[in-house]
Amino acid sequence: MGKPTGFMEYEREIPADREPLERLKDWNEFHLHMSEEKLRIQGARCMDCGIPFCHTGVLLSGMASGCPINNLIPEWNDLVYRGLWHQALDRLHRTNNFPEFTGRVCPAPCEGSCTLGISDPPVTIKNIEVSIVERGWQEGWIVAQPPKVRTGKKVAVIGSGPAGLTAAAQLNKAGHSVTVFERADLPGGLLMYGIPNMKLDKREVVLRRIKLMEQEGISFVCNTAVGSSAYPVDKLRSEFDALVLATGATQPRDLPIEGRELKGIHFAMEFLTANTKAVLQAGADYISAKDKDVIIIGGGDTGTDCVATSLRHGCRSVTQLEIMPQSPEQRADDNPWPEWPKTLKVDYGQEEAAEQYGADPRSYLTTATKFEGDAAGTVTAVHTVQVKWEKNDKGQFVPTPVAGTEQVRPAGLVLLAMGFLGPEQQLLESMGVERDPRSNIKADYGSYATSVPGVFAAGDCRRGQSLVVWAFNEGRGVARECDRYLMGETELP
């Protein structure tokens, strides 16, 4: 590396975020940027560790360890340290079609497996990544690169989320004519409507890349629900030589307890999607949290996004119920490096709530038992109880209510953010593709071929709810196999 002793000389430093109370006034991205000098110093901390785990991309204890798309992290860290930004961008794009997305929303399993992280804070890989690609956009280095030769083959990609966009980009590079179908009014899937604007700007970041893909020859057909009477499967099969299903896992997990039918109880994605549409389209209807006591059931990124969105609406209070215990501040003995560190993290939404109300909004080891409403059928309260995790007669850990911890919490809006069960089934049934016991599309990792010849599947609809970066991994993989099916061989990476 350019600075072999950099990891001993420099401390980890990340860019400051906008002040919490200030950023609550708008929907703009909350991250700030670092100077080139500071970024080069952070690149110098990459320690020439010999066997870097940061780009391994394997599953350890069911969690990602290292980068699932095998980013060439030590290489572009070194290039940034040397000030060779264009070369760093070239290395970054070799493995990642959309680093401006992962550099903003990926939880950075690469940093969790950074060798320096064994004894010191890890290299700021995620921040360096987004800084490289944004430098590329600013300098005009990122331009449309349509294929020089077309194969004459046509491919339809169903779903324009992370997996679908990646598959489309790669298949287009191979020279195929690619059409991406999206049932929403704008392309991007999860990137457009599942992640709030303050974390991933839609016009300046998402649509910027979509526009470039269109310039490269990719067609986007929105407001189109494939498999419906408006666009039946038979028509799709007759018009395209191959299909890639990348519909995501959008079937939300429900909470069927007493009072679930009350008004004011919504799935998190219903809340977040409508809000983003209102941000993009002045006057659009959305579910408002203004002056309401908000109860969010479920943790994770989606729960955090609901916290942050509710605060920007001007809610009266916000509480986030998590059935799991609070994570430790340091790695536990059963969570060694290079596993993903299951440690306590204070994300942007919790930070904002703490600044606004003086306390972290999360209530751990807590579950809802009943929704209570008024005469008009609108939710007014959530009954909760604390739990402890104990083994049942099958040896499985299950939550058990703790007597005497019952509580009634006021609620004018309840958001269910408990994850997703799998893909919606209507399209899959109409196509006749086989499903696995979890209702996901049955297609082996590496081949991505479904039970229907010429139909492939990738991303959350195949593997279940997962990270954006895993969707990128599968999007690139399914493009290779689809290209091989069409051409008999493939040169796609």
**Domain ranges, ordered by start, for the chain:** 6-139, 154-250+421-487, 254-418
CATH architecture of the domain covering 6-139? Orthogonal Bundle (1.10)
Sheet strands (E) in 96-226: 154-158, 177-181, 219-221
CATH class belonging to 154-250+421-487: alpha beta
Tell me which H or E stretch contains 420: strand 420-422
| 356-362: Cβ within 8 A, 24+ apart | 356/20, 356/21, 356/24, 356/311, 357/317, 357/318, 361/296, 361/307, 361/318, 361/319, 361/320, 362/299, 362/320, 362/321, 362/322, 362/326
Give yes or no for a contact between 282 and 401, defined as CB atoms under 8 angstroms apart: no
Per-residue pLDDT of the chain (493 residues; tens, 9 = 90+): 678 999 999 999 999 999 999 999 999 999 999 999 999 999 999 998 988 999 999 999 999 999 999 999 999 999 999 999 999 999 999 999 999 999 999 999 999 999 999 999 999 999 999 999 999 999 999 999 999 999 999 999 999 999 999 999 999 999 999 999 999 999 999 999 999 999 999 999 999 999 999 999 999 999 999 998 889 999 999 999 999 999 999 999 999 999 999 999 999 999 999 999 999 998 899 999 999 999 999 989 999 999 999 999 999 999 999 999 999 999 999 999 999 999 999 999 999 999 999 999 999 999 999 999 999 999 999 999 999 999 999 999 999 999 999 999 999 999 999 999 999 999 999 999 999 999 999 999 999 999 999 999 999 999 999 999 999 999 999 999 999 999 999 999 9
- Domains 6-139 and 154-250+421-487 in one fold: no
- Exposure of 84 by Cβ count < 10 A (0-12 exposed, 13-18 middle, 19+ buried)? middle
254-418 folds as FAD/NAD(P)-binding domain (3.50.50)
